[in-house]
Amino acid sequence: MSLIDVFLRRAVRHGQLTLNRPGKPLVTFGQPADNFGHVVLRFADKGVERAILRDPGLGAGEMFMAGRLIVENGDAMDLIELMTANDPWEQGGGRLAASPLARLWGALRHRVERVNMERQSRRNVAHHYDLSGRLYDLFLDRDRQYSCAYYTDPANDLDRAQEDKLAHIAAKLAIRPGMRVLDIGCGWGGMALYLHRKLGVEVLGVTLSEEQLKVARARADAAGVADKVRFELIDYRRVEGRFDRIVSVGMFEHVGTAQYREFFAKVRDLLTEDGVMLLHTIGRLGVPGVTDRWTTKYIFPGGYNPSLSEIVAASEPARMFLCDVEVLRLHYAWTLKAWYDRTVAAKDQIVALYDERFYRMWTFYLAGACKAFEHGALVNFQLQYARSRTALPVTRDYMIDGERALRG
């Protein structure tokens, strides 16, 4: 029995995985079980097995991208669902982790890469967010919200869930007419344009992505609000002025742990005396960790999903009031499943835009992320900070009332 057999026998207990390898008989692991599927996996050559044994996450991802690890019954989502559902975080999941040596190397590498300085930050952002705008049109919602949606009903479609996310966040900001708002990591401008359209405020959005900047400015011009909703290509550390409200959605994952204290110190300096900030970020349950090698190599170089303890500890020296914390558990899993389905439906267009390897990489990324939120340790945190203890009402009723009003 080879090491891959030992690994899969331990990893697949519910549901079944049939493995087809060169020069070896078919072997099936696991047992039929309700809500667990049967996946048939084929290794195109003997090197696939060696790559997976060295580091399951990195090796499986690279072999799938190369077309050497082939899912013959099912797809990437089915394979990752089977593996992760057998190893849920709340039951002590860890059977899919890399070897101790690979984890040690990953921790050392993380210490070096987490020093996310300005020049490197811009390169990291460009690696992912300066991809073809056509790609994002194919799998995102009509407003191009590339962050966790908010499902007031799991049956809602993606467009509705993303619109509800904007309302959910806007209500927590407790915005009043005449305020100035800063959007750190503004993406393609959806949040900034929404806040102006719904609440009439002036907004400055900042990004490090040249492609996002072009789209955001074009959208503001088309809406005739470029004088009220401005977008700049600038690092948040270089922003000047004072703002009544600050919002940051899906950007904190790229800050780098070494810069967390600097981030919160800068936020405090930018807020007015009664200013409020809402931070929305992917986070991890439990203790701090490291980002898996496949993700940092191919998807988000320099990216890291913080634990709640890391965020709170880094914000404490800034002496802001942490007024509210919300943990969104399954919302991003549902969002990513919608993105995955749209990506699969647009396969021909994506392959024509890039190639088969890119398409396989993108589906592996979306499937893996989806199941990390469904079975793993990933969640979304929304943290609300205020400079003054009296800046916000003392109960959460205003959030509920404000959200209902915005949603109509």
In this prediction, what percent of the chain has a pLDDT beyond 70? 91
373-404 per-position pLDDT tens digit: 999 999 999 999 999 999 999 999 999 999 99
In this prediction, what percent of the chain has a pLDDT beyond 90? 84
In the structure, what pLDDT confidence band is assigned to residue 118 with cuts at 50, 70 and 90? low
Q: Is 202 inside a domain boundary?
A: yes
Q: Which of 53, 70, 98 is the last residue of a domain?
A: 98
Q: What pLDDT was estimated at residue 260?
A: 97
CATH number at residue 20: 3.30.1050
145 and 76 part of one domain: no
Mean pLDDT of all residues in 139-144: 96
Q: What DSSP string describes 295-336? A: HHHHT-TT----BHHHHHHHHGGGT-EEEEEEEE-SHHHHHH
Q: Is the pLDDT of residue 107 over 90?
A: no
Q: What pLDDT was estimated at residue 7?
A: 87
Q: Is 216 inside a domain boundary?
A: yes
Q: Is 13 inside a domain boundary?
A: yes
220 and 350 part of one domain: yes
Q: Do the Cβ atoms of 118 and 235 come closer than 8 Å? A: yes
166 and 199 part of one domain: yes
254-306 per-position pLDDT tens digit: 999 999 999 999 999 999 999 999 999 999 999 999 899 999 999 988 899 99
327: its two tokens = 């943990």
In the structure, what pLDDT confidence band is assigned to residue 104 with cuts at 50, 70 and 90? low
83 and 38 part of one domain: yes
The strand pair at 202-207 and 69-73 is best described as unpaired
* Rounded Cα distance, 192 and 190, in Å: 6
C-alpha radius of gyration, the chain, whole number: 22
Comparison of pLDDT for 125 and 342, the residue scoring more: 342
Q: What pLDDT was estimated at residue 94?
A: 65
36 and 75 part of one domain: yes
Q: Is 106 inside a domain boundary?
A: no
160 and 278 part of one domain: yes
Q: Is 104 inside a domain boundary?
A: no
Q: Is 259 inside a domain boundary?
A: yes
Q: Which of 69, 98, 127 is the last residue of a domain?
A: 98
* Rounded Cα distance, 25 and 17, in Å: 14
75 and 146 part of one domain: no
* Least confident interval from 99-103, 372-376, 403-407: 99-103
Q: Is the pLDDT of residue 99 over 60?
A: no
223: its two tokens = 């809406």
Q: Is the pLDDT of residue 45 over 90?
A: yes
* Rounded Cα distance, 192 and 206, in Å: 10
Helix (H) or strand (E) holding 383: strand 378-386
In the structure, what pLDDT confidence band is assigned to residue 124 with cuts at 50, 70 and 90? confident
Q: Is 109 inside a domain boundary?
A: no
91 and 121 part of one domain: no
In the structure, what pLDDT confidence band is assigned to residue 10 with cuts at 50, 70 and 90? very high
* Rounded Cα distance, 11 and 17, in Å: 10
Where in the sequence is the domain holding 145, given as residue range(s)? 116-407
Q: Do the Cβ atoms of 55 and 102 come closer than 8 Å? A: yes
93 and 126 part of one domain: no
Domain count of the fold of the chain: 2
194 and 50 part of one domain: no
* Residue indicated by tokens 């009332």: 401
334-386 per-position pLDDT tens digit: 999 999 999 999 999 999 999 999 999 999 999 999 999 999 999 999 999 99
9 and 124 part of one domain: no
Q: Is 383 inside a domain boundary?
A: yes
63-85 per-position pLDDT tens digit: 999 999 999 999 999 999 999 99
Single out the residue of 74, 9, 70, 65 nearest to residue 39, CA to CA.
74
Q: Is the pLDDT of residue 86 over 90?
A: yes
In the structure, what pLDDT confidence band is assigned to residue 92 with cuts at 50, 70 and 90? confident
Q: Is the pLDDT of residue 102 over 60?
A: no
Q: What pLDDT was estimated at residue 372?
A: 97
201 and 291 part of one domain: yes
The strand pair at 243-249 and 271-284 is best described as parallel
* Least confident interval from 9-13, 93-97, 203-207: 93-97
Mean pLDDT of all residues in 177-186: 97
Q: What pLDDT was estimated at residue 115?
A: 55
* Rounded Cα distance, 364 and 60, in Å: 10
CATH number at residue 243: 3.40.50.150
Q: What pLDDT was estimated at residue 302?
A: 86
* Least confident interval from 1-10, 215-224, 242-251: 1-10
Q: Which of 98, 133, 160 is the last residue of a domain?
A: 98
What average pLDDT does the structure give for the chain? 92
Looking at residue 155, its amino acid is: A
